[in-house]
Structure 1
Amino acid sequence: MLQHLQPRQDGRAHASRALHVGLATCETEILEAQKLRYRVFAEEMGARLPTRTPGVDRDIYDPFCSHLIVRDEAAGRIVGTYRILSPTAARRVGGYYSENEFDLTRLQHLRSRLVEIGRSCIDPDYRSGAVIALLWSGLARYMQENGHDYLIGCASISMADGGHTAASLYNRLRERHLAPLEYHVFPRYPLPLASLRGDLDAEAPPLIKGYLRAGAWICGAPAWDPDFNTADLPILMPINKVDARYARHFMGRQD
């Protein structure tokens, strides 16, 4: 679940604040990130979360993940987060979260180099662009320092209109961004594309637009996630194919 929501009408830019990105270093920081996830996904989006603790988004993958966080030091609060599942951690937990939505058989040969990202969210008052830029920088640093080669995740599109926007977006985006056949994955609960309009002039959510501009692929048709009521696109980003502009900005590469 990779989600980027629009700012509230009273949202303000916080670029001038002391925003810092890094991995959570204690259970208190992880819990704060999980509470932020609950506020965004459950309270704002209306998702049904399988949590046993009120106000906390926590599942079986969390103990195995690294939690990337952006903190506003002046306010003393976590304002953005990503969940990162390494190849070693995926083996320990029994697989990737994405495998609940997609058959990843064709990516089997990538597993030792494949990092999964998900549960991304940003506090409504901080959706000016600064926080997502910091999160991406943190992800890039994580990939470099650990020598991983591929990022995978499920990029979400709202199903508020019944799925017509999601179907239209997939039809348009696959023309330029579909992965080579050998990297295709297959939804376990496919969005019923044949029953939906596929010709709407739909705008891609900012996060999906950013991934595709950086060089990511769409690895197949979207799956329906009933708990979040979203259509999820399988996204794969080979790090060696990241667009040079993004590489220089987020990864410090000089090529």
Structure 2
Amino acid sequence: MQRQPQLDTQAHAPAQTQTVSRAPGKLVLSMASTPDELREVQRLRYKVFIETMGLAALKRDDGLDSDEFDGHCDHLIVRDSSSLEVVGTYRLLSAARAHKLGRMYSEGEFDLSRLNVIRSRIVEAGRACIHPDYRGGSVIMLLWSGLAEYMRRERCDFLAGCASISLADGGHNAVAVYHKLVQSHLAPAEYRVTPHLPFPYTKLDPAQSPQVPALLKGYMRSGAWICGEPAWDPDFESADLFLLMPLANLDARYAKHYGVA
């Protein structure tokens, strides 16, 4: 059993609260600031990542998706004010926290040595998660606006992270998505990374019609780069792409929609 992480008491001040109307209540964006809010985040992630995906190997008695990084990260949350339920979240690791830890989460899957020259300017984002009943667009828009604000506050120029593609179909869609996106969104050579456990995409036939996951599609529309070949994550049964997005490329509809640009 993993040790339950404690929220870092040096966490940054919460982001400015923003609201957007949604019947019957409002969606409210903030930053998790207590251990109880962190556990709400972890419960939502468990529901979406473990229960919904049916990953029996990752089931836990406490019903929390947690790891050693949680206590060192900031956690954007979107809450439905009518039910007080956390319905969306994004985990953010600042450059300063990553330096203190000595690594980013993505380094468990990729060799990031080529990015050493820009490490002090990177925010790593991960564990993006939205409740199945709230996937109409408003939640992700709020999370993106909070992400843009966070990057500016941290004075970081790059967003980094992994985007997962399910292997439920045997990996054929992952192959098709990679082939489709790498043609137009491949990172400059100086930002390429190497997977520790490569996904064997050359040995599989691609699906006829690539189905790009919504989050990955959002990254691409916002100017993100794919930084190399996919890694294989056997625990989450996914092919993972490492993405890097310059803040300057962040799509105006996300950065300005709520007046944070």
TM-score greater than 0.5 by the shorter chain: yes
Distance 1:103 1:62 in 2: 21
Task: Report the alpha carbon displacement of residue 104 of structure 1 after superposing the two structures with TM.
Answer: 0.4
Task: Report the alpha carbon displacement of residue 128 of structure 1 after superposing the two structures with TM.
Answer: 1.1
Kept in 2: contact 1:49–1:57 (CA 8 A): no
Q: 1:54 to 1:199 in 2, by over 3 A?
A: closer
Which residue is 1:54 aligned to? 62
Which residue is 1:233 aligned to? 241
Task: Report the alpha carbon displacement of residue 52 of structure 1 after superposing the two structures with TM.
Answer: 6.8
Task: Report the alpha carbon displacement of residue 75 of structure 1 after superposing the two structures with TM.
Answer: 0.4
- Report the 3-state secondary structure (helix = DSSP H, G, I; strand = E; otherwise coil) of the residue aligned with 2:199: coil
Distance 1:199 1:77 in 2: 37
Identity fraction in percent: 53
Q: Which of 123, 127, 130 is residue 135 of structure 2 equivalent to?
A: 127
Which residue is 2:166 aligned to? 158
Which residue is 1:79 aligned to? 87
Contiguous gaps of at least 5 residues in structure 1: 1-12
Residues 149-173 of structure 1 show CA distances to partners (whole Å, capped at 9, x for unaligned) of 1110100111001111101111111
Q: Which runs of 4+ in 1 moved over 3 A?
A: 13-16, 47-53, 243-248, 250-253
Distance 2:79 2:253 in 1: 26
Task: Report the alpha carbon displacement of residue 77 of structure 1 after superposing the two structures with TM.
Answer: 1.1
Task: Report the alpha carbon displacement of residue 33 of structure 1 after superposing the two structures with TM.
Answer: 0.5
Q: 1:218 to 1:28 in 2, by over 3 A?
A: same
Which residue is 1:6 aligned to? none
- Report the 3-state secondary structure (helix = DSSP H, G, I; strand = E; otherwise coil) of the residue aligned with 1:42: helix
Looking at both structures, which has the greater relative contact order when contacts are Cα pairs under 8 Å and sequence separation is at least 6? 1
Contiguous gaps of at least 5 residues in structure 2: 1-20
Kept in 1: contact 2:76–2:90 (CA 8 A): yes
Distance 1:234 1:251 in 2: 29
Task: Give the superposed CA RMSD.
Answer: 1.9
Residue 52 of structure 2 is aligned to residue 44 of structure 1: yes
Task: Report the alpha carbon displacement of residue 206 of structure 1 after superposing the two structures with TM.
Answer: 1.2
Which residue is 2:7 aligned to? none
Of 218-227 and 196-205, more deviation after overlay is shown by: 196-205
Kept in 2: contact 1:14–1:128 (CA 8 A): no
Q: 1:15 to 1:194 in 2, by over 3 A?
A: farther
Kept in 1: contact 2:27–2:78 (CA 8 A): yes
Distance 2:120 2:73 in 1: 16
Q: Which of 187, 190, 199 is residue 179 of structure 1 equivalent to?
A: 187
Task: Report the alpha carbon displacement of residue 199 of structure 1 after superposing the two structures with TM.
Answer: 5.7
Residues 51-109 of structure 1 show CA distances to partners (whole Å, capped at 9, x for unaligned) of 87620111110110001100111101111111111111112222111000111011111
Residue 203 of structure 2 is aligned to residue 195 of structure 1: yes
Q: Which of 143, 159, 167 is residue 151 of structure 2 equivalent to?
A: 143
What TM-score, normalized to structure 2? 0.87
Q: How many residues align?
A: 241
Kept in 2: contact 1:140–1:250 (CA 8 A): no
What TM-score, normalized to structure 1? 0.89
> Which one-letter code corresponds to 1:154 in the other structure?
C
Which residue is 1:113 aligned to? 121
- Report the 3-state secondary structure (helix = DSSP H, G, I; strand = E; otherwise coil) of the residue aligned with 1:249: coil
Residue 40 of structure 2 is aligned to residue 32 of structure 1: yes
- Report the 3-state secondary structure (helix = DSSP H, G, I; strand = E; otherwise coil) of the residue aligned with 2:257: helix
Distance 2:250 2:79 in 1: 27
Kept in 1: contact 2:151–2:157 (CA 8 A): yes
Kept in 2: contact 1:79–1:126 (CA 8 A): yes
